[in-house]
Structure 1
Amino acid sequence: MALDGFVISNIVYELNQTILNAKISKIAQPENDELLFTCKGSNGQFRLAMSASASLPFLYLTDQNKPSPMTAPNFCMVLRKHIANGRIVKIYQPHMERIIHFDIEHLDEMGDLCQKTLIVELMGKHSNIIFCNSDGKIIDSIKHISSMMSSLREVLPGRDYCIPATQDDRLNPLEVTEEAFMDMVMKKPTSITKALYSSFTGLSPLLASEICHRSSIDGDMSVDSLDDDGKKHLFNNLTWIAEDVKNHTYKPNIIFKGKEPIDFSCIELTQFSDYDAKNFDSISQVLEEYYASKNVYTRIRQKSVDLRKIVSTALDRNRKKYQLQEKQLKDTEKRDKYKVYGELIHTYGYGLEEGAKKLEALNYYTNEMITIPLDSQLDAKGNAQKYFDRYNKLKRTYEALTKLTEETKTEIEHLESISTALDIALTEDDLVQIKEELIEFGYIKRKKTDKKARIKSKPFHYRSSDGYDIYVGKNNYQNDELTFKFATGNDWWFHAKGMPGSHVIVKSNNEELPDRVFEEAGMLAGYYSKGREDEKVEIDYLQKKNVKKPNGAAPGFVVYYTNYSLTIHPDISGLTLVSD
């Protein structure tokens, strides 16, 4: 719930600085749950985008336009009828809720001045956009909620609008007193973080964690574990954040983990010191970039769900098979013991009595006395042959299992490399090449009607701080192409040690590379590998001419026997991606 009451307060403040008293010149509904207003005022023209999406609700100012359907939906037509050319006279947030009210003045059919209210509720799966009369009667909403869908509140034309049901005892974080904080918040039998966000309107778990971090307190501890000083620290840090909001001292920012956005806020997030924070002048810029970036990762992950399931299923099956094969292989370790038993019975069995159940003999391999169990129904020759048969059977099993186990291990490594490629993929074109590999190796059946996909995906192209070109394969086919067709003998090759990952090629131009290029190429090899989340990753690197591909090996699989190593932190935030 990064889009909390504090972020909403920043949005409301920004809207009051830009579109208050502006005229609504255009109203569009590009998606079923999304509106786009064009507003013109003394500050210029602005586009206001808002969405009641259950997964990603938003409201922000944008420069981007979106195409609208040829026939406007009913809700859009209702808004155009009532408030087209209307003027926004008031924008406010009730009680730090995730709700924004727009009071709009317009002329009715008789030319009289009227007022309507557009209410945007940004509350996750309960998000909605509701259009009301000045007396609070609902005219229409972008989502109709009947009593069959919710027993708490109906949102239908003609019903009275009421604010969504929230806990009545929640406090306003901008108005709370120290006494109320100590009595109501610091006496809850729960964790400190949960006590904070469950006690205040508009306070998200993210900000509750931030308050704990600023207070140097572990938010997972129970409230009971806090002493008076700790409680005082919490209250003070909450108050300081609230003061920033009251004074409109906002610091819009997005937290990035590599290239992926993981959180945003209008408050400085000190708890993410290990990640990259990008600051903005406008909360609208934050929301627009965050949702655009998040959509890239969300869309690709949704598109790759089927491929991930195929790879995951195949990996689970092969890992179980590998465990069973290793267990069976371990059982064959006693084969040499049976061979020795057979030999010793041949050597010392001439004196065995009929029906003997054991033989005491000197093991001339270890110079120790051992006891060999015997079958009393067999003579010495028969017992020796029985042990030799066991030995030969286990030997054959060992030879077959050794080969099978190696094949299974190779298949697991291949599947893990495909899984890593799915994590790296950023576009649908990247997924096409991965799917082709799964088809080629029999994990997916190609339909008779399917033609071989046209491959458009290209490797990543970076440029080092010293101007050298660095290329990173996104999948196994690209890894092979880079290493064995694109790179020349004196180019440098990098790969994360002992784990699946991309081949990284530095074009050396037959020059001696600066040390910084090796470090930056190593960072790329670490980041585009299974170890991208690790603090440190060991990287192997060598000249391309020393990298070999075994006959019949899967794509991306190589061998090398001499290499250099370096250890890096896989952070590529300072590297430049080139748009080819």
Structure 2
Amino acid sequence: MALDGIVVASIVHELTSLLPGNKIEKIHQPEADELIIALRSQGKNHKLLLSSSSQHTRVHFTNVAKENPSVPPVFCMFLRKHLQGGRIVSIEQPNFERIIKFVIESYDELNILKQKHLIVELMGKHSNIILVEAETNRILDSIKRVSFDVSRQRQVLPGLTYTLPPAQNKLNPLLIENLDGFKEGLTPNMSSPVYKVIYSSFTGISPLIAREICFNANVSDDQPLLALDEADYQKLFHSFKNLMTIVKKGTFIPSLYIDDATGKYVDFNVLGLNHLSYYRTETYESPSLLLESFYQNKDSKERMKQRTQDLRKNISLKLERLYNKIENLEKDLKNAEKAEECKVYGDLITANIHLLKDKEAAVSVINYYDPDMKEITIPLDQKLTPAQNAQKYFKQYNKYKTAVKEVAHQREIAVEEINYLEQILISLDHVTQLADIEEIYTELIETGYVKKRATNKKNTGNIKKTSYLKYLSSDGYEIYVGKNNKQNDEITFKISGKNDLWLHVKDMPGSHTILKCQEGEYTDQALLEAATLAAYYSKAKNATKVPIDYTLRKNVRKQSGAKPGMVIYDHFQTVYVDGDLAGLKVKEI
């Protein structure tokens, strides 16, 4: 899924139609690699998101409200000093690259009108946001400073002259006017597939667009360049030219392609791709709406995953220790199974003590406990007398008997801890905001799994209380899903009624799910949809034929001293569903 030069061109087209003349009202930096700029012109407000994230780099208008740090980062303060109160003059895309340049005029501290360039480089892991002084082309600062240690080819540091990212000997496709220019522009690698030659030869063209050019030309994209004849070149140029005409005219069709079989996004672009027409297509009024729809959940999940990384590592380490403990307890239990053998040895030594001599390494006697009365050899400690050897075996017998009970108890405790910590990992997969992480962290402090960290008292009031998930089934029944253990307890024992339906994945970690019944009744459709949500928000996510237990909420109870989210239940039935949301018609409310 590529944010290629064509998508960037559509963004620049949208920004150019709305932003010139806009005044920069506020600048925020909610993430280390992301800016949100509030703009205003003629009574209209816009909020622009600039992201230099290595995975989700982008620029678009946004309506999403994000939490800002209580103390603005240094780069944010620097931009406020130089740009706040300034006006956007123009927006450019240099050489059809994945670069957007905002030309901004603002007054400096001497009240002199200066022009600066805010340059957003949308290049994957090399993405950056750079402020440049227009008059001298000198870098003032950047959201990511790139020193010589990081890159020997190109440094991005205050005081250096700004240069464009290293060119890759590609041509600007918008400048290609005829077939000869198209053919000459193609990289002469005759054994490479056609689509690869096309995207390797022209800036701003991704593999996705190269395949579209081949598809529209009715030329196989995988055949080598040397297999093309003159007619193929003509068809490819005609297809290429048609797409470039759309870009020049700005007649974009922002589209998202979705595989209904899996419910996953296949790709997106702004040209209307014929070779992906067999997927369901959602079109948007603007590139910003397309990018916001595509990236919002992906980016949020990725950032939440990064923020929970240390906590995941901590929990995973504890789980590993518990798994090792279970393994060692199993070994102890296997040894403890020798208890009866030790008792028999002790009894037989005692019964034959008059026949034994000191300092013997072993003795062979008749085993009276064997129906066949076979002879058995008993190992002896030569340092001990026969009576002392008998006492040693009796002591070992009593030790093993005690161990069997203790090992079983310790194993039960370890299994309970494993179930709890695996549930925590599931909860971490479902966090959507900082408040979710704080709830889980607070729970782990209360249960003693992590130490309380030093907090800034000024910041504690900024964390909002999070809420459980609420859905509406396709036939109108409310469904509640807990995102963590505290929410699981809340919806099970505070929100739901005793005759509502409680659901949970069978014998593995997962969220509590409540189906709100209407006068004690529910439909099979609502049950299946609630069960699917219970499967999706569990360890069985995306699995098939997931067993989901369901029972009336009154049959669910919490044992004394149980950890948050841990319950027992009875009088249940089981239904099997798939653990994905493909085709599910519930609505989040």
TM-score range, shorter chain: 0.7 to 0.9
Q: Would you say 1:24 and 2:21 are equivalent positions?
A: yes
Structure 1 Cα separation of the partners of residues 320 and 274 of structure 2: 39
Residue matched to 1:413: 419
Q: 1:484 to 1:347 in 2, by over 3 A?
A: farther
Structure 2 Cα separation of the partners of residues 244 and 64 of structure 1: 32
Residue matched to 1:164: 165
Contact persistence 2:132–2:162 (CA under 8 A): no
Q: Which amino acid aligns with 1:437?
A: E
Residue matched to 1:252: 255
Structure 1 Cα separation of the partners of residues 575 and 416 of structure 2: 26
Residue matched to 1:51: 50
Residue matched to 2:10: 10
Which stretch of structure 1 is more off in the superposition, 162-171 or 468-477?
A: 162-171
Residue matched to 2:111: none
Q: Which amino acid aligns with 2:287?
A: I
Q: Would you say 1:424 and 2:430 are equivalent positions?
A: yes
What is the CA-CA distance between 1:381 and the residue it aligns to?
Answer: 4.8
Residue matched to 2:449: 443
Deviation sequence 1:220-242 (CA, Å, 0-9, x none)? xxx9xx8869998xx99999799
Q: 1:174 to 1:408 in 2, by over 3 A?
A: farther
Structure 1: stretches of 5+ with no match in the other structure: 107-114, 216-222
Q: Give the secondary structure class of the aligned counterpart of 2:142.
A: coil
Q: Give the secondary structure class of the aligned counterpart of 2:569.
A: coil
Contact persistence 2:542–2:578 (CA under 8 A): no
Residue matched to 1:143: 142
Residue matched to 1:320: 324
What is the CA-CA distance between 1:564 and the residue it aligns to?
Answer: 1.6
The 5 A counterparts of 1:70-81 are none
The 5 A counterparts of 1:113-152 are 120-124=120-124, 125-129=126-130, 138=137, 143=142, 152=153
Residue matched to 2:333: 329
The 5 A counterparts of 1:222-241 are none
Q: 1:230 to 1:540 in 2, by over 3 A?
A: farther
Residue matched to 1:110: none
Q: 1:332 to 1:186 in 2, by over 3 A?
A: farther
What is the CA-CA distance between 1:476 and the residue it aligns to?
Answer: 1.9
The 5 A counterparts of 1:365-380 are 365=370, 367=372, 369=374, 371-375=376-380, 377=382
Question: How many residues are matched?
Answer: 544
Contact persistence 1:174–1:242 (CA under 8 A): no
Contact persistence 2:25–2:40 (CA under 8 A): no
Structure 1 Cα separation of the partners of residues 511 and 240 of structure 2: 44
RMSD of aligned C-alpha atoms?
5.5
Q: Would you say 1:521 and 2:523 are equivalent positions?
A: no
Q: Would you say 1:558 and 2:567 are equivalent positions?
A: yes
Residue matched to 2:343: 339
What is the CA-CA distance between 1:250 and the residue it aligns to?
Answer: 4.1
Contact persistence 1:460–1:473 (CA under 8 A): yes
Counterpart of 2:467 (choices 458, 478, 487) is 458
Residue matched to 1:60: 60
Contact persistence 1:460–1:472 (CA under 8 A): yes
What is the CA-CA distance between 1:311 and the residue it aligns to?
Answer: 2.7
Q: Which amino acid aligns with 1:10?
A: S
What is the CA-CA distance between 1:393 and the residue it aligns to?
Answer: 1.7
Q: Would you say 1:392 and 2:398 are equivalent positions?
A: yes
Q: 1:369 to 1:544 in 2, by over 3 A?
A: farther
Deviation sequence 1:93-147 (CA, Å, 0-9, x none)? 51x42124678999xxxxxxxx9987543234442456686xx962766639798
Structure 2: stretches of 5+ with no match in the other structure: 107-114
What is the CA-CA distance between 1:348 and the residue it aligns to?
Answer: 6.3
The 5 A counterparts of 1:79-90 are 84=87, 86=89, 88=90
Counterpart of 2:587 (choices 551, 576, 579) is 576
Structure 2 Cα separation of the partners of residues 450 and 74 of structure 1: 24
Structure 2 Cα separation of the partners of residues 54 and 160 of structure 1: 24
Structure 2 Cα separation of the partners of residues 559 and 238 of structure 1: 68
Contact persistence 1:244–1:250 (CA under 8 A): no
What is the CA-CA distance between 1:179 and the residue it aligns to?
Answer: 9.8
Residue matched to 1:537: 546
Q: 1:193 to 1:116 in 2, by over 3 A?
A: same
Structure 1 Cα separation of the partners of residues 210 and 507 of structure 2: 36
Contact persistence 1:182–1:231 (CA under 8 A): no
Deviation sequence 1:200-235 (CA, Å, 0-9, x none)? 644568x49988xx99xxxxxxx9xx8869998xx9
Deviation sequence 1:299-322 (CA, Å, 0-9, x none)? 544554454344333323323323
Counterpart of 2:301 (choices 286, 297, 309) is 297
Structure 2 Cα separation of the partners of residues 230 and 325 of structure 1: 67
Structure 2 Cα separation of the partners of residues 139 and 426 of structure 1: 40
What is the CA-CA distance between 1:479 and the residue it aligns to?
Answer: 2.1
Structure 2 Cα separation of the partners of residues 478 and 439 of structure 1: 16
Structure 2 Cα separation of the partners of residues 396 and 30 of structure 1: 68
The 5 A counterparts of 1:489-508 are 489-508=498-517
What is the CA-CA distance between 1:516 and the residue it aligns to?
Answer: 0.6
Q: 1:485 to 1:52 in 2, by over 3 A?
A: closer
Structure 2 Cα separation of the partners of residues 193 and 536 of structure 1: 41
Q: Give the secondary structure class of the aligned counterpart of 1:184.
A: coil
Contact persistence 1:424–1:474 (CA under 8 A): yes
Q: Give the secondary structure class of the aligned counterpart of 1:24.
A: coil
Structure 1 Cα separation of the partners of residues 397 and 237 of structure 2: 75
Structure 2 Cα separation of the partners of residues 129 and 287 of structure 1: 22
Contact persistence 2:118–2:129 (CA under 8 A): no
Structure 2 Cα separation of the partners of residues 174 and 380 of structure 1: 102
Identity %: 34
Contact persistence 2:171–2:202 (CA under 8 A): yes
Counterpart of 1:285 (choices 286, 289, 296) is 289
Structure 1 Cα separation of the partners of residues 351 and 210 of structure 2: 77
Contact persistence 1:417–1:501 (CA under 8 A): yes
Contact persistence 2:26–2:39 (CA under 8 A): no
Structure 2 Cα separation of the partners of residues 85 and 464 of structure 1: 47
Q: Give the secondary structure class of the aligned counterpart of 1:164.
A: coil
Q: 1:121 to 1:422 in 2, by over 3 A?
A: closer
Contact persistence 1:261–1:294 (CA under 8 A): no
Q: 1:128 to 1:457 in 2, by over 3 A?
A: closer
Q: 1:348 to 1:203 in 2, by over 3 A?
A: farther
Structure 2 Cα separation of the partners of residues 557 and 119 of structure 1: 52
Q: 1:166 to 1:548 in 2, by over 3 A?
A: same
Q: 1:270 to 1:314 in 2, by over 3 A?
A: farther
Name the TM-score, length of structure 2 as normaliser: 0.71
